[in-house]
Structure 1
C-alpha cells in the first residue's frame, strides 16, 4: 500500500503529461488560463504546456499525500517533506520560467538526498538507516546490514545520474516514461536482487 502511495504523484504526473501531450492546444489554453499569472510573460505555448500542467498536478498530489497522512494520524516521513520542498521549489521554477529543466532535476536531487542521508548516517553518526527501517522485520549480522545500507547508497547514486542522462539526452516524453516505468522497474529489480542476496542470511535465524 505504501509503495503505491509513494508512486501516486509520479503516476498522476505521467497521466496528465500524456493527456496534455495529445491535446496540446487545449493544454496551452488551459495552462495560460490557470497559470498565466504565475508564468513569465503570462502566456504558455503548446510545447511547454504539457510539462507545466503535469508539474502542477504533481505538486498538488504531493500536498494531498501529506494531508491524507495527517488526516489519518500517520507520521509523514522526512523524505516526503523533502520531496514536497523539492517539487514545490523546482516545480515553481519550471512554471515561472517555462522550462522543464528544473523539474527534471527533482528525481536526481531526491535520490541523492536519500543516498547522502544513508551514507552520512553510516559514516558520521554510525547509524544504519536501512537497519532502522527494516530491523524489526529481519535479524541480520551488522556487517550484512552495512552491505545493504551501502548498496542502497550506490543504487540512489546511480539512479540520480541515470535520471539526468535520460532527462537531458532524450525527448521529454521519453523522460516521463522513464520516470514512471524505468524508475519503478529498476527499483523492483534492485529489491528482488537484494532479497535473493539476503535470503541465505535470513534462513540462519536470529544472530547472537
Structure 2
C-alpha cells in the first residue's frame, strides 16, 4: 500500500503525459497529486518522511516554474536535484548524530558492524549521484517522450536493481548459524568477513 502511494504522483504524471503529450499539463496535474500524496500519508500514518517533504517542495518549486514559464526544463531537473540532495544528506549524515543515514533507517530490523553501515551508506551516495547524472544525460540527449518513460520505468528499474545488489551484499553479513545469534554478531569467526 505504501509503495503504491509513493509512486502515485509519478504514475499520474505519466498517464496524463501519455494522454496529452504536454509536459506543462502533466506537471500541473503532478503538483496537486503530490500534495494529495503527502496529505494522505499524514492522515494514514500520522507522519511524513523527509523524502516526501523534499520531493513536495521541489515539485511545487520546479513544477510551478514549469507551469508558469511553460518550459519543461524545470521539471526535468527535479529528479536530479532530489537525487543529489539525498546524496549530500547521506554523505553528511555521519557528521550529524554520528550514524550514517542508512543505519538510522534500517537498524531497527538489522544489526551490522559500523564499517558495513558506512560502506552501505557510501553506496547509496554513489547511487544517488549516478541517478542524478543519468537523468541529466537522458533529458539532454533524448526526446521528451523518452525522458518521461525513463522517469517512470528507467528510474524504477535502476532503483530495484540497486536494492537487489544491496540485498546480496547484506546477505554476506547476516548470521550463518540459523539465526540463533543476533544479526551482525561480532564472533571471532566473522571479524575477518566484516572487514571485507
One of 5, 17, 23 as aligned partner of 1:51: 23
How far is 1:124 from its partner? 5.4
Distance in 1 (CA, whole Å) between partners of 2:141 and 2:152 is 17
Cα contact 2:90–2:125 (8 A) shared by 1: yes
State how 1:36-115 maps to structure 2 within 5 Å. Answer: 50-115=22-87
Q: Tell me, what secondary structure is at the counterpart of 1:75?
A: coil
Q: Determine the structure 1 residue equivalent to 2:13.
A: 13
How far is 1:122 from its partner? 2.1
Distance in 1 (CA, whole Å) between partners of 2:47 and 2:184 is 29
How far is 1:73 from its partner? 4.4
Q: Determine the structure 1 residue equivalent to 2:136.
A: 164
Distance in 1 (CA, whole Å) between partners of 2:32 and 2:158 is 26
1:207 aligns with 2:185: yes
Q: Determine the structure 1 residue equivalent to 2:189.
A: none
Distance in 1 (CA, whole Å) between partners of 2:72 and 2:46 is 33
Unmatched 5+ stretches in structure 2: 177-182, 187-196
Distance in 1 (CA, whole Å) between partners of 2:144 and 2:77 is 13
Distance in 2 (CA, whole Å) between partners of 1:163 and 1:55 is 17
RMSD: 1.3
How far is 1:123 from its partner? 4.2
TM-score normalised to the size of structure 1?
A: 0.83
Structure 1 moving runs of 4+ over 4 Å: none
- Count of residues in correspondence between the two structures: 180
One of 121, 124, 129 as aligned partner of 2:101: 129
Q: Tell me, what secondary structure is at the counterpart of 1:76?
A: coil
Q: Tell me, what secondary structure is at the counterpart of 2:110?
A: coil
Cα contact 2:90–2:101 (8 A) shared by 1: yes
Distance in 1 (CA, whole Å) between partners of 2:174 and 2:11 is 34
